[in-house]
């Protein structure tokens, strides 16, 4: 998308408003997608509080918390990027956007490291793996299956988000409009906010 | 003054080039970003699904003509009623009115040249097509026998093709969200300058309310079906009671979508009714704001009623009471609409044309379906009727009697708008009589069947139910005959029908203030929306 308006919009303001509103509607939809998962987690956690505690304590808290930091910093950088664009410093804004995408990659690398660690321990979704032969608490397989489902879906969103943010940085170098950057940032913030819910649910007892 | 004498509003003279004639290549249709053409693409795609789902329905009815096996095995029967439900709900009713007529009419009703995101609109069509193809392809991979509700634990263990079907529905859900997002942005930002919210035509309001439900409910279904798919394909066991899973939890998630989905299906039909009545009664709606607020009320309360599907699934009587009361709020909002519509007709100058006939059918059938809905929302009654033909009859009165008659009213009402041609009124009345009469004969006996104890989805039935089943099956033939007539006379009308002129109904609604069929950019020259969409008192032209 270039800074020029598409011809069915009368003004750039109208286009910007439409893009931001549509994105807000889409984010509401995304929020409900994760709300369904949170409902699953809440229900099963109340069914198996002890097993969930065991699962949370076993989880890699340090890596999970570092990832929280990574996403928070990335979101802040992107917010600053939007502000610098508003000030007209587009090169810097593009740089900050690329930095955000880079942190998205860092998040994914840490996340995959975690998964690899869990697989190494023999924790697989569906209660399969050597881990569950030693840990036989009822509900523990459910915890880990939900963990893979929720963080996996989130990781898919981070992957898409990273690609979109990276693409936006590339477009910024060629004169992308403010509302496109704002919309990208909104999406990235949502991905960040969802993690802020997943973090306490799966890492903090 | 009759409708034919009404003056043509300014700016509505037929233009040289309509959107239909502007380009005719395959590419100009397949890659179009014109909301009118995308609406037509959706219309044909969803109508094809209606045909397919209808064929399954007919076969199901024929199977019940005699006790024991008639034309198919038990396994085939299970696959038939499942695909009938899946196709009718997700591939026909949910996209039909919003994506076909909504796409065509809403931008015209708000004075816009396009929807906010034309390419997203086209993408939504192809995403729909992809999802629909996958669902239908599952037929060739063993079909699916879970019923359209995919209840676990059966759906996570059946050898049927669960994964392709839920994947297809998941993808169709994306299309639904894309359409919803697009319409919300369109209604908010693309309105003609000065066209305030409370001046919008009621059909646009209905599509707007529907879009809100689409974007908020669909993702929950997506998640629920994703888990079913994972349970089925990889044995994750999240809903498996043997491993601590909770099947009732699935039902909660499923109905959190699938009950609001009823309003995705019926609100657009109510929007059609709200627009047809003022046109054919030549009157302002009795209360415009009552219809608007009840539309938004249904969209909101619809999210709080899902539990009434689960009264026998292990729910406390308090919860059941709460869900029952919330469900009845929907009945109140619906009643507000029905009373307002009837009051609009009162002392109107009524032109009894086919669209209005379908609206009358809607009144009768929808009200009947709605009142039986209040009955099944009452726990004490629902325990008896749950999972019987009574429920089947109830929701077919809403879905066919409400949504489908709304769909046909829209088709007849906007046929001249879309094509500039008029259908044969005599044949359309014959088809209307067959559809309405056939429907009543098909589904009224099912209330008695259900009340007598006939469970739904059963292949076989005791001899004492046989006469009612035969009546129901014969009724379905009349319904089918009526539905076969519609495409025949509509196709004839498209090629040979008399030219309708820009505004054959003499409607004041905004979409009629341009040529029929509209030009590519919707309006030639400046658009005059200074006179309201339902204002039948102010003369519209200088010479009137």
A 10 A CB-CB count for B496 gives 9
Number of domains in chain A: 1
Phi, psi of B388 (to 5 degrees): -115, 175
Higher pLDDT: A205 or B495? It is: B495
Question: Residue B9: its pLDDT value, please?
Answer: 47
- Is residue A31 within 8 A of residue B216, CB to CB? The reply is no
Q: What is the mean pLDDT of chain B?
A: 93
Under an 8 A CB cutoff, do B177 and A32 touch? no
- Residue A3 inside a domain? The answer is no
> Looking at chain A, which residue has its C-alpha nearest residue B119?
A6
Over 70: is that where the pLDDT of B209 sits? yes
The pLDDT tens digits for B262-295 are 999 999 999 999 999 999 999 999 999 999 999 9
CB contacts of B113 in chain A (<8 Å) are: 8
Question: Residue B24: its pLDDT value, please?
Answer: 84
The pLDDT tens digits for B446-502 are 999 999 999 999 999 899 999 999 999 999 999 999 999 999 999 999 999 999 999
Over 70: is that where the pLDDT of A1 sits? no
Over 50: is that where the pLDDT of B254 sits? yes
- Residue A30 inside a domain? The answer is yes
Please tell me the distance from the alpha carbon of residue B183 to that of residue B204, in angstroms, as a whole number: 9
CB contacts of B303 in chain A (<8 Å) are: none
Under an 8 A CB cutoff, do B190 and A18 touch? yes
Question: Residue B541: its pLDDT value, please?
Answer: 55
The β-bridge partners of B421 are: B499
Q: What is the distance in angstroms between the Cα of A21 and the nearest Cα belonging to chain B?
A: 6
Split at pLDDT 50, 70, 90, the class of A6 is low
Over 80: is that where the pLDDT of B177 sits? yes
Q: Under 8 Å CB-to-CB from B431, ≥6 apart: which residues?
A: B482, B483, B485, B486, B489
DSSP at B304:
G
Among A13, A31, A35, A145, the strongest candidate for a mutation testing the B interface, having the largest count of B CBs within 10 A, is A145
Query: Which alpha helices (H) appear in chain A, and where do they start and end?
Result: 12-47, 49-58, 61-86, 90-121, 131-134, 140-172, 178-203
Q: Percent of chain B, pLDDT > 70?
A: 96
DSSP string, B129-143: HHHHHHHHHGGGGT-
Q: Collect all residues from B whose CB is shorter than 8 A from any CB in A.
A: 112-114, 116-118, 177, 180-182, 184-186, 188-190, 215-220, 222-224, 227, 230, 234-238, 243-246, 249, 252-253, 256
Question: Given B186, B219, B244, which is nearest A30 (Cβ)?
Answer: B219
Question: Residue B49: its pLDDT value, please?
Answer: 97
Question: Residue B1: its pLDDT value, please?
Answer: 36
Residue A194 domain boundaries: 16-203
- Residue A11 inside a domain? The answer is no
Question: Residue B4: its pLDDT value, please?
Answer: 41
Split at pLDDT 50, 70, 90, the class of B318 is very high
Q: Percent of chain A, pLDDT > 90?
A: 87
The pLDDT tens digits for A75-128 are 999 999 999 999 999 999 999 999 999 999 999 999 999 999 999 999 999 999
Question: Residue B16: its pLDDT value, please?
Answer: 52
- Rg over CA atoms, chain A: 20
Please tell me the distance from the alpha carbon of residue A70 to that of residue A192, in angstroms, as a whole number: 9
Under an 8 A CB cutoff, do A18 and B219 touch? no
The pLDDT tens digits for A139-178 are 999 999 999 999 999 999 999 999 999 999 999 988 888 9
Mean pLDDT value across residues B523-537: 88
- Is residue A36 within 8 A of residue B254, CB to CB? The reply is no
Over 70: is that where the pLDDT of B134 sits? yes
Please tell me the distance from the alpha carbon of residue B406 to that of residue B403, in angstroms, as a whole number: 5
For chains A and B, CB pairs below 8 A equal 106
- Residue A7 inside a domain? The answer is no
Q: What is the 3-state secondary structure (H, E, C) of B169-226?
A: HHHHHHHHHHHHHHHHHHHHHCCCCCCCHHHCCHHHHHHHHHHHHHHHHHHHHHHHHH
The pLDDT tens digits for B397-430 are 999 999 999 999 999 999 999 999 999 999 999 9
Under an 8 A CB cutoff, do B222 and A33 touch? yes
SS3 state at B381: helix
- Residue A78 inside a domain? The answer is yes
Q: What is the 3-state secondary structure (H, E, C) of B313-368?
A: CCCCHHHHHHHHHHHHHHHHHHHHHHHHHHHHHCCCCCCCCHHHHHHHHHHHHHHH
Over 80: is that where the pLDDT of B543 sits? no
From residue B246, alpha-carbon distances to A46, A63, A198, B237, B290 in Å are 12, 31, 21, 10, 42
| Domains of chain B with CATH codes | 37-512 (1.20.210.10)
- Rg over CA atoms, chain B: 23
Question: Residue B540: its pLDDT value, please?
Answer: 59
Task: For residue A149, give the nearest of A198, A205, A204 by alpha carbon.
Answer: A198
How far is residue B267 CA from its own chain's centroid? 8
Q: Which long-range contacts (CB under 8 A, 24 or more apart) does B528-532 make?
A: B528/B9, B528/B10, B528/B11, B529/B111, B529/B192, B529/B194, B529/B195, B529/B199, B532/B199, B532/B508
- The CATH number linked to A23 is 1.20.120.80
């Amino acid at each position: 998308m270039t800074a020029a308006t598409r011809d069915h919009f009368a003004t750039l303001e109208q286009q910007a408003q439409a893009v931001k509103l549509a994105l807000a509607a889409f984010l509401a939809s995304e929020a409900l997608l994760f709300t369904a998962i949170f409902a699953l987690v809440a229900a099963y956690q109340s069914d198996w509080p002890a097993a969930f505690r065991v699962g949370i304590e076993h989880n890699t808290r340090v890596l999970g918390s570092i990832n929280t930091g990574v996403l928070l910093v990335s979101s802040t950088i992107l917010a600053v990027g939007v502000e610098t664009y508003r000030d007209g410093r587009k090169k810097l804004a593009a740089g900050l956007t690329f930095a955000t995408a880079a942190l998205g990659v860092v998040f994914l690398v840490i996340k995959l490291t975690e998964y690899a660690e869990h697989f190494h321990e023999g924790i697989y979704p569906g209660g399969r793996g050597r881990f569950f032969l030693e840990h036989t608490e009822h509900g523990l397989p459910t915890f880990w299956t939900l963990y893979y489902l929720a963080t996996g879906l989130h990781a898919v969103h981070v992957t898409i988000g990273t690609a979109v943010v990276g693409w936006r940085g590339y477009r910024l170098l060629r004169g992308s409009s403010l509302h496109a950057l704002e919309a990208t940032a909104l999406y990235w913030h949502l991905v960040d906010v969802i993690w802020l819910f997943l973090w306490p649910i799966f890492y903090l007892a | 003054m009759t409708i034919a004498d009404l003056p043509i509003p300014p700016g509505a003279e037929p233009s040289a080039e309509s959107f239909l004639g502007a380009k005719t290549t395959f590419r100009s249709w397949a890659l179009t970003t014109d909301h009118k053409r995308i609406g037509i693409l959706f219309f044909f795609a969803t109508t094809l699904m209606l045909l397919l789902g209808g064929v399954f329905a007919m076969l199901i009815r024929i199977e019940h003509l005699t006790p024991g096996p008639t034309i198919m095995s038990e396994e085939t029967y299970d696959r038939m009623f499942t695909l009938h439900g899946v196709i009718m709900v997700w591939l026909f009713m949910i996209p039909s009115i919003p994506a076909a007529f909504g796409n065509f009419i809403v931008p015209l009703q708000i004075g816009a040249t396009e929807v906010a995101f034309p390419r997203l609109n086209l993408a939504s069509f192809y995403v729909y097509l992809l999802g629909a193809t996958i669902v239908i392809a599952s037929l060739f991979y063993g079909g699916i026998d879970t019923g359209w509700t995919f209840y676990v634990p059966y759906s996570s263990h059946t050898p049927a093709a669960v994964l392709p079907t839920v994947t297809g529905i998941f993808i169709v859900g994306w299309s639904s969200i894309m359409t919803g997002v697009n319409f919300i942005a369109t209604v908010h930002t693309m309105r003609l300058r000065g066209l305030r919210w409370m001046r919008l035509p009621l059909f646009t309001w209905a599509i707007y309310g529907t879009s809100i439900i689409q974007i908020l409910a669909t993702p929950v279904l997506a998640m629920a079906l994703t888990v079913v798919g994972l349970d089925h394909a990889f044995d994750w066991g999240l809903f498996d009671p043997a491993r601590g899973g909770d099947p009732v939890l699935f039902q909660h998630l499923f109905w959190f979508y699938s009950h609001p989905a009823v309003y995705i299906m019926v609100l657009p039909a109510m929007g059609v009714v709200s627009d047809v009545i003022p046109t054919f009664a030549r009157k302002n709606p009795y209360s415009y704001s009552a219809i608007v607020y009840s539309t938004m009320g249904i969209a909101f309360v619809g999210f709080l009623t899902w539990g009434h599907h689960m009264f026998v699934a292990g729910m406390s009587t308090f919860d059941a009471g709460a869900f029952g009361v919330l469900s009845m709020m929907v009945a109140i909002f619906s009643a507000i609409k029905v009373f307002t519509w009837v009051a609009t007709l009162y002392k109107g100058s009524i032109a009894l044309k086919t669209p209005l006939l379908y609206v009358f059918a809607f009144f009768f059938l929808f009200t009947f379906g709605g009142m039986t809905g209040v009955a099944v929302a009452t726990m004490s009654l629902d325990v008896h009727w749950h999972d019987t033909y009574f429920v089947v009859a109830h929701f077919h009165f809403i879905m066919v009697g409400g949504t489908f008659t709304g769909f046909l009213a829209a088709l007849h009402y906007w046929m001249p708008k879309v094509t500039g041609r008029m259908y044969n009124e005599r044949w359309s009345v014959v088809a209307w009589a067959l559809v309405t009469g056939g429907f009543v004969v098909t589904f009224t006996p099912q209330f008695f069947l259900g009340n007598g104890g006939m469970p739904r989805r059963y292949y076989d039935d005791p001899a004492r139910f046989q006469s009612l089943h035969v009546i129901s099956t014969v009724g379905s033939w009349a319904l089918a005959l009526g539905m076969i007539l519609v495409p025949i006379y509509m196709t004839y009308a498209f090629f040979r029908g008399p030219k309708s002129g820009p505004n054959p109904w003499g409607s004041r609604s905004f979409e009629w203030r341009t040529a029929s069929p509209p030009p590519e950019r919707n309006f030639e020259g400046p658009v005059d929306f200074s006179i309201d969409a339902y204002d039948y008192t102010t003369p519209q032209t200088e010479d009137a």
